[in-house]
Amino acid sequence: MQEKKTVWITGASSGLGLATAKAFAGVGWTVIGGARSFTNETAEDGIHHLPLDVTIPESCAAFVDEALAISPRVDALVCAAAVLVLGACENTAPEEYRRVMETNFVGTTRLVQAALPQMRKQQSGRIVLFSSINGLLGIPFQSAYTASKHAMEGYAECLAMETRRFGVQVCLVEPGDHRGGSDHTRLHASGEDDASAYRAAYECTCAAIHRDESGGLLPEKLGQKVVRNTMRRHMRFRLRVAKFDQHLAVWLHRFLPNWVNSLILRKYYGTDTPNH
């Protein structure tokens, strides 16, 4: 009888992390989810909830110890914990950039380093890192988030090359807009107030972001696609889940001159709107 497989998932309390956790539970995996809001318990859907703050090394170490006590295996690691700070580059404080990078990027590297010894011992494992369409192109007033996801793209390429000989495969999930984002992970830069020189353009961009997310794809569909890719014999390295217009934006960014891409995005998000 085949041993039941185990997945660790960060950011499992809401959004795409929660949808992915439910999708793995739906196909019979042992799911161990971590989030700052969790206490040690098993949810009704069979997902083990463990407290986890990926920005704190001691919290990561405690999560790993408790996860291995539940199951001695880690067949897959899904890193979906993330935070977003909206604001102009000029108005986003270094501490706010640091918070985003610590959560989205450095926190991911902590969990990867914790899972890899077990995966090397098993001579198998799947690592799924949540990037974004923003990991491929810049969006106005999302510089902190965009920088963290660009970092994830480069990190994943390095990780995949280094771990291949140990039977470990790596996947970058690049979601476009999806419904159901959580407001507690979507913050506004402290310097982005009514006196900001960017205020009118910022409000136009925030309205466009809200519109796109409200009409975005269903998180459940993404979770199912992540599970299917993880269970493939050979995982796809990039799994882009987005609407056609966002796929098109990536293609245009790759092939058109920068000034053309910049013009298209400025018009779309209204960043040339003057303050009154």
**CA-based nearest residue to 80, from 183, 10, 154:** 10
Pair of tokens at residue 269 = 């998000």
Pair of tokens at residue 231 = 């269970």
Q: Which of 97, 145, 155, 202 is catalytic?
A: 145
What is the spatial distance between Cα 219 and Cα 151, in angstroms, rounded to a whole number?
24
Dihedral sign, CA of 213, 157, 6, 59?
Answer: negative
What is the spatial distance between Cα 165 and Cα 197, in angstroms, rounded to a whole number?
52
Residues paired with residue 187 on neighbouring β-strands, in sequence order? 85
203, 205, 209, 212: CA torsion to nearest 10 = 120
Q: Is 155 a catalytic residue?
A: no
Query: Could you give the residue numbers annotated as active site?
Result: 145
